[in-house]
Amino acid sequence: MTILSTMIDSHSRRHHYSMTTYKINDIVLTQSCKVPAMDPVHVKLIKKVVVHKKKGNNFDWPEYIGWHAELTKKKEVKILRKRWNIPYSFPDNIETFIYEEEIIKKL
């Protein structure tokens, strides 16, 4: 099993349909599951993405639910840019993608 397939497999095992229903324009607090040291950030949900399981050549791609989102706090954008070298720029370049399982709570 490759590192990528291990990461994808662990992602799919953690994912179950959320009991909370999120809607477009909801503001949520989210925590990256890929970088646990990163502080949680506030985002506004823009567009929901549902991807179903797919059979691949080397491994099967798991299903997932995610959201195109926008960062909402200027201070958090500055921290992401300075501490993590992510090229965000408030308010023009604040688009991101989050998995629904990364949502901590709806605000």
Quick: pLDDT tens for 5-37.
334 444 444 444 455 689 999 999 999 988 889
How many domains, in total, are found in the chain? 1
- Given this model, what pLDDT does residue 10 score? 45
Domain carrying residue 35: 3-106
Whole-structure pTM value: 0.76
Bridge partner residues of 30 (DSSP):
41, 103
Per residue in 75-94, pLDDT (tens digit) is 999 999 999 999 999 999 99
- CA dihedral sign of residues 82, 88, 92, 94: negative
- Given this model, what pLDDT does residue 101 score? 93
Q: What is the DSSP string of 45-87?
A: EEEEEEE--B--SSSPBPPEEEEEEEE--HHHHHHHHHHH---
Per-chain mean pLDDT for the chain: 85
Asked if 65 and 50 count as a contact pair (C-beta separation under 8 A), the reply is yes
Share above pLDDT 90 across residues of the chain, in percent, rounded to a whole number: 73
